[in-house]
Structure 1
Amino acid sequence: MKRSLENIASQLGLNLDTLERWIRQGKIPVSKKGSMGIYNTSELNRWAEKQRKTSFCSENGSSSQDSDSKEEGKLIDSNSNDDIVGLLLCAALKNGGIFHGVTGNGKHGIIESAVEHIPDYPGKDSKEILLQLMERERLTSTGIGQGVAIPHPRNPIANGFTEPMIVTCFLENEVDFDAIDDLPVFVLFLMLSPTVEIHLNLLSRLSFCLRDRSFMRFIRQHPDKKSFLSRIREMEEKLDNPSGR
């Protein structure tokens, strides 16, 4: 099979530079010819499945792979252009971290506190991120109802940002967020993505979880990191394999 390297990177959820580096290092079963990548579909799918199971979201929240492995998250379908996203949400949540007892003075203060919890990455600019988040809030609140808010910038994060992350903040006290149902917020999922495609995938997966009543009851309890990631993993596997097979 032959496809552009850009297309392969997109379907695998990888940064293009990372894909090319892995090809040079022999870490991925793809060969490069100009701007094209050549691969065996079955072999690449087996590689992607192995990466998904071993590096994305273990039960104890740890990873045995190097940091670049966190980017990988999709499988290639030889018969379709549709992406089959792996445990992308679980990986993004683990990348961002889960924090409890987060405090702040009002909506702006809570978002500012959430920004302070964003893990470091090359080129990180907390002031710029906060500015983008507040610009987005001025358009319309990201308080989606049921005590949940999903702050995010209008545009993908640049300046060296390659791995999607969601910073989960369970609040010490509920905060008015101008939510659509007027209910105060008890949890924030601050979402940062390197591409629009990944942002939409993450938003879709998180929304799937939040539509589940039992999941909402679960997060109302402010679960610990291990329990939270384990439950997210179960939800994503349910989403990816609704038949249970």
Structure 2
Amino acid sequence: MDEVLTLSEVASYLKLSEKTLLKMVKNGEIPCAKIANQWRFSRPMVDDWLRGKMEVVPKNDLSRLIEREFDYMPLSRLIDEDSIVLELKSVDRAGVIDELAEVAYNNKLILDKDTLTKKLNEREDLISTAIGNGIAIPHLRKPSAAIISEPKIVIGVSPRGVDFKSPDGKPTKLFFLILSDSEVVHLRILSRLAAILRINNHLEQMNNFRSKEDFLKFFINDDRENFPKP
């Protein structure tokens, strides 16, 4: 069975109407990518999303707070200056994953770097987490409290770009490593991040960022604009 699915194939797979699925796509409720004006889905990522809808595994305090209190995912709360790398040095997939895992470990976001690296590479072997347009969203196939201490996003920038087996064949320059110990939180992060990255103007902005503060301000402003306080 193909690993990349069309809108109609996913609708059939999930037993939904195409209209309902398209609405979910536009609302950023399911991970997908737009390639040549057509929506495409990764079967493993759809399976991850579906499994997460059926499982609730809250772990630490922040995960429980997000699951209980937030109907949306405020990404600015999950991004710290120390977890942003503006110039990744690696020239291949394994090196990028190792660099991102090293940042996570140094910031005490994970408990075991070697295990995280191994599982991230296994996930990429299954199918690339690159979604096209120079973006990849590395993540574990299944969130684990045995590895991850709290939900966070590690951002990495590769000025030259890396071959990350992107579906559009282009080098990947922006990496968003999702760390979560909860299926619910993981899926909320993935869906919200995918929705933001689908906006071309946002991609243009990020490709021109020259400082960590640029990334922090972007996500803070996005939260303010889309989720204003009552």
Q: Which residue of 2 aligns with 1:85?
A: 72
1:104-134 CA distance string (max 9 Å, x none): 1311111112111114438611110001001
Q: CA deviation at 1:238?
A: 3.1
2:129 corresponds to which letter in structure 1? T
Determine the C-alpha separation between the residues in 2 that align with 1:156 and 1:199. Answer: 7
Superposition pairs of residues 94-109 of structure 1, within 5 angstroms: 94=80, 97-109=83-95
Q: Which residue of 2 aligns with 1:22?
A: none
Determine the C-alpha separation between the residues in 2 that align with 1:146 and 1:186. Answer: 9
CA RMSD between the two structures: 2.9
Q: Which residue of 2 aligns with 1:8?
A: none
1:38-94 CA distance string (max 9 Å, x none): xxxxxxxxxxxxxxxxxxxxxxxxxxxxxx7x9744664xxxxxx52352x112222
What is the aligned counterpart of 2:98 among 112, 117, 137? 112
Q: CA deviation at 1:173?
A: 1.9
Q: Which moved more, 1:126-135 or 1:105-114?
A: 105-114
Determine the C-alpha separation between the residues in 1 that align with 2:109 and 2:170. Answer: 37
2:174 is equivalent to residue 209 of structure 1: no
Superposition pairs of residues 53-92 of structure 1, within 5 angstroms: 72-73=65-66, 76=69, 83-85=70-72, 87=74, 89-92=75-78
Stretches of structure 1 that go unaligned for 5 or more consecutive residues are 1-10, 19-67, 77-82
Distance 1:153 1:162, change over 3 A: same
Please say if residues 166 and 191 of structure 1, whose CA atoms lie closer than 8 Å, have aligned partners that are also in contact.
yes
The TM-score with structure 2 as length reference comes to 0.66
Q: Secondary structure at the match of 2:76?
A: helix
Determine the C-alpha separation between the residues in 2 that align with 1:116 and 1:123. Answer: 9
What is the aligned counterpart of 2:135 among 128, 148, 166? 148
Q: Secondary structure at the match of 2:193?
A: helix
Please say if residues 134 and 174 of structure 2, whose CA atoms lie closer than 8 Å, have aligned partners that are also in contact.
yes
Q: Secondary structure at the match of 2:87?
A: strand
Q: CA deviation at 1:188?
A: 0.8
Superposition pairs of residues 93-242 of structure 1, within 5 angstroms: 93-94=79-80, 97-118=83-104, 119-121=106-108, 124-159=111-146, 161-241=148-228
Determine the C-alpha separation between the residues in 2 that align with 1:107 and 1:216. Answer: 21
Q: Secondary structure at the match of 1:154?
A: coil
Identity %: 27
Please say if residues 73 and 189 of structure 2, whose CA atoms lie closer than 8 Å, have aligned partners that are also in contact.
no
The TM-score with structure 1 as length reference comes to 0.63
Higher RCO, Cα 8 Å, sep 6+: 2
Determine the C-alpha separation between the residues in 2 that align with 1:96 and 1:199. Answer: 21
Determine the C-alpha separation between the residues in 2 that align with 1:195 and 1:219. Answer: 28
